[in-house]
Amino acid sequence: MVVEIVSLNEDGYPVGRPTNWRDDGPAPDILVREESARGGRGGPPGGALGLGDRALVRIRLSNGKYDGTLVRRLAPAAEAILGIYDGANRIHSTQRAGIEDYWVHGADTKGAEKGDLVLAQILTRRRLERPRAKVIERLGHEDGTRAFSLIAIRNQDVPYLFDEDVLNEAEGAGPATHEDRVDLRDVQLVTIDGEDARDFDDAVWAEPAETAGGTPGWHLIVAIADVSWYVRPGSALDREALKRGNSTYFPDRVVPMLPEALSNGWCSLKPDEDRACMVAHMWIDASGTMLKHRFERAIMRSAARLTYNQVQVARDSEDLKLAHILEPLYGAYQALSAARERRETMDLDVPERMIKLDAGGRVTDITPRTRLDSHKLIEEFMIAANVAAAETLERVKQPCMYRIHDAPPDTKLAEFAEFSQGIGLKFARGQVVKPSLFNGLLKRAQELGIGDVVSQMVLRTQAQAEYSTDNIGHFGLALRRYCHFTSPIRRYADLLVHRALITGLGLGKGGLPVGGPDWSWIGPAITAAERRSVAAEREAADRFVASYYAEHEGEFVDGRIVGAAKSGIFVRLDGSLVDGFVPRRTLPGGGGSDRGRGAHGGSGWGRSRRSGKAPQAYETGDRVHCRIVEADGVRGSLVLEIVNHESTRRPVKSIDE
């Protein structure tokens, strides 16, 4: 592999790191030994390779450490780096692998100031000297943690600046016409969002209704901001929205798909203000079965901006002020929940990590986000509207951008079967895989106290959802047809669905262009954009998390092993959903690898160089007590060392047992 020399060891030999490291953990250090022309070991330390040099080396693993034999020296790479300028002629690189710091001459700073995020060109490097670079672009001044999101945005190439023509189109928007719209301003639609939400693009309402057979049921309304009225096909706003694909969310900011004049303005369903909307009317029976549905364009006026916590507290305390709104909403939700249980959807409730910041952007706490019934209520209403949209588009013979989710691939099922065997759960290969099969394992894992670990492994086993015009159904939701209709202000797929509904139902302006669009390439494009955003969000979160633990270096933490890479194991810290990394070379007893179980065992690795102890086996699910060795916010690395280890290996049991 190709390595870059990042340091010299105490004996003067060069130490390199892979230049294209794609594993989840930190890149390993590789001791590079040079060979003489006759093929023997190179002469004195400090031969040809110096700091910053690149070389092709042959890698050998010995007792948990990597050695590399020089094959040939490579020409210096003319690559650029992203880093933070420290104000004292040094750039701290944001890359996890490679050299950490680069020296910058005063003439090469381009006026950069302390705290500036800069793009720098790596210059020719000389033997035994600090690597040197020059600033080629100042990307903005962000003190401390405020740089973390911007680093992720740049690293993942997330578009974040709007061109002037896009902003002008958004600023020129005004109230939508009431013509050809149903007046729903007397209906007490309410928005329910998080406390920190700034835009409100969906509102809900429900009332009791009799079914055709006279049995009780519910009439639901899901109203969505009519983004298609403002973002027309071929416009500057449309081109920008397609390029971004979706909004990207960070702990300290949002990179919106559309400018604030729309996302927080005309397309935000603010209380007591007239807003244009697309409306899904749905009628369900007491068991949650969809009986019929209808879409229309309307004008609404939100009766209240509620939060999830407000709704939950009001529901639990039987608050009479909101009872007339919440009682029918919860009645319809319970019916939809019953239908969900009958479908046996994937019951994978993976908690979301919440990073709390103070006014200065400093991380004050990292906790699992509480999931309330009020969250689930909105989720069920949105799923119902999405299904209704897909069914309607098929009925009116319009194109649909489906949200598809395939069954787990065989390779991942095989890995999951071996993992399950290692923790005492039986998952037979070759059987028909349904969501209910995973639900049984998840229930058993909760009883054993390892539900969080198994939930993560079940999640990793699943195929990734994507957008496509070819419908294969949604495995996780156990639905034959499904699309995204409920958030066109932050997802381009939803905007396409709105346009297709407008065209197919003859609802006026803002539909599909004449002749129809070519959607064959749009699905893969917006799927890629979604994954780009997910990578950026994860990268930024890792930096915020590492900055928090930087204040706790040397302290001890408890956790559970949740996975492994070739270079080490991952530990989920208790109570925070934070994963730290334990390098393979630091594992007591040398480590050892058991790839089938996604953990490490010591067979064949011999004794630890440091302790001389027999190797230990590390299994996914094991409890560990660790010390925080290193936490680097700029690089987003959290390195741990295992102090104590408690195996949780169990005899294999079937789901029924």
Average pLDDT, the chain: 87
* 605 pLDDT higher than 80: no
Mean pLDDT of 95-123: 87
Give per-residue pLDDT as tens, 567-581.
Answer: 899 999 998 889 999
Same domain (yes/no): 383, 506 = yes
| Whole-angstrom distance, CA of residue 526 vs CA of residue 522 | 6
> Residue 373 falls within a domain, yes or no?
yes
Query: H helices within 47-206, ranges in order?
Result: 146-155, 164-171
> Residue 146 falls within a domain, yes or no?
no
Please choose, from the candidates 280, 281, 298, the residue with its C-alpha nearest in 3D space to the C-alpha of residue 219.
281
Mean pLDDT of 199-212: 93
Give per-residue pLDDT as tens, 132-177.
Answer: 899 988 887 776 788 899 999 988 989 999 999 999 999 999 999 9
Same domain (yes/no): 91, 234 = no
Predicted pLDDT of residue 630? 93
> Residue 148 falls within a domain, yes or no?
no
Same domain (yes/no): 39, 15 = yes
Query: What tokens appear for 42 in the block?
Result: 């190179």
Same domain (yes/no): 37, 183 = no
Same domain (yes/no): 532, 618 = no
Same domain (yes/no): 624, 505 = no
pLDDT > 90 in the chain, percent: 57
* 355 pLDDT higher than 50: yes
Taking phi over 0 as left and psi of -120 to 50 as alpha, with beta for the rest, 419 belongs to alpha
CATH number of domain containing 47: 2.40.50.140
* 29 pLDDT higher than 90: no
Mean pLDDT of 597-620: 45
Give per-residue pLDDT as tens, 406-440.
Answer: 999 999 998 888 888 877 788 877 778 999 999 99
Q: How many domains does the chain have?
A: 4
Same domain (yes/no): 54, 97 = no
Mean pLDDT of 56-71: 84
Q: Is 59 helix (H, G, I), strand (E, B) or coil?
A: strand
> Residue 38 falls within a domain, yes or no?
yes
Domain limit, last residue, from 512, 541, 570: 541
> Residue 491 falls within a domain, yes or no?
yes
Strand 290-301 relative to strand 182-183, pairing: parallel
Same domain (yes/no): 508, 526 = yes
> Residue 458 falls within a domain, yes or no?
no
> Residue 612 falls within a domain, yes or no?
yes
Same domain (yes/no): 531, 568 = no
Residue 378 structural domain: 164-406+463-541
Give per-residue pLDDT as tens, 230-245.
Answer: 999 999 999 999 999 9
Domain limit, last residue, from 74, 105, 126: 74
Same domain (yes/no): 223, 308 = yes
Please choose, from the candidates 395, 401, 400, 455, the residue with its C-alpha nearest in 3D space to the C-alpha of residue 425.
455
* 508 pLDDT higher than 80: yes
Query: What pTM was computed for the model?
Result: 0.82
Per-residue b or e along 632-651, where b marks 16 or more CB atoms closer than 10 Å to that residue's CB: bbbbbbbbbbbeebeebeee
* 553 pLDDT higher than 70: yes
Same domain (yes/no): 316, 361 = yes
Q: DSSP letter for 76, please.
A: P
Same domain (yes/no): 114, 136 = yes
> Residue 651 falls within a domain, yes or no?
no
Question: How many other CB atoms are found less than 10 A from the CB of residue 539?
Answer: 20
CATH number of domain containing 129: 2.40.50
Give per-residue pLDDT as tens, 314-323.
Answer: 999 988 899 9
Domain limit, last residue, from 39, 74, 109: 74
Query: What tokens appear for 316 in the block?
Result: 């639990």
Mean pLDDT of 337-351: 90
